[in-house]
Amino acid sequence: MRNVLAILFAFVWLPAGAAEVAGVKIPETVQAANGNPLVLNGAGLRQRVFFKVYAMGLYFPRKTSVAADAIATGGAKRVAIHMLRDVDAATFSGALADGIRANHSEADVKALDARLSELTAIMAEMKEAKTGMRIELDWMPETGTVVRINGAAHGKPIAGEDFYRALLRIWLGENPVQSDLKNALLGQTS
C-alpha cells in the first residue's frame, strides 16, 4: 500500500498549476530566451529499474495532449530536465542517442548524426550530469537548439528544427524511452 501511495504522490500538483515530481518543483510557466511565455504541457519522472534518474517538464506555447501535435508545434519549446542522480556525460548522451535511434530510420539517424555529435560534445564538456543539475534543451526558431546547464548556455546552438523534433521523439515518439513518462508529459493520466 505504501508503494501505491508513493507513486500517487510522485505527481502532486501545487497551487497555480505548478507541478512537483519526486520533490522537484516544476513551474507552470517559463519565459523563452526570446521573451515569449511557455506553458507546462506535462511533467514526469524518468526511472531506470528502481532508480529515479530525472524529473522532467515539457513546455510549449500552448498545451496539447497529442504526441504528433506536440512534436509539430511551432515556436519556442523547452525540455527541462532536473537530475535526481549522478550520470556521467557519456551515459547521458548515449541514452539520448539511443532514444533518437529508437524513433527514426537509419537514414534519418544518419542525417542527424553530425548534430547529435555536437550535442554529445556539449555534454562531454560538463563531464557529469550531477544530482540537482538543471539541463534545458530549448528550441529557439531564430537560433536553433540551445543547451543550458543550470541556466547558462553551453556550446553553440545546434541548427535545424528537425533535430529538435528528433529530441522530442525520445520522450514522445512511437518508441518512447518510458511510456508512462510520455503520458505524463502529454498531461494524460494512466
Q: What is the DSSP letter of 9?
A: H
pLDDT given for residue 12 in this prediction: 37
Out of 3-7, 126-130, 139-143, 178-182, which region has the weakest mean confidence (pLDDT)? 3-7
Across all residues in the chain, what is the average pLDDT?
Answer: 89
Gyration radius of the chain over CA positions: 16
Architecture field, domain 29-185: 3-Layer(bba) Sandwich (3.50)
pLDDT digits (tens, 9 = 90+) for 74-92: 999 999 999 999 999 999 9
* Residue type, position 65, single letter: S
Diameter of the chain by CA atoms?
A: 50
Tell me the pLDDT band of 149, cut-offs 50, 70 and 90: very high
pTM: 0.87
Q: How far apart are CA 22 and CA 165, in angstroms?
A: 27
Torsion of CA 102, 105, 106, 107, to 10 degrees: -150
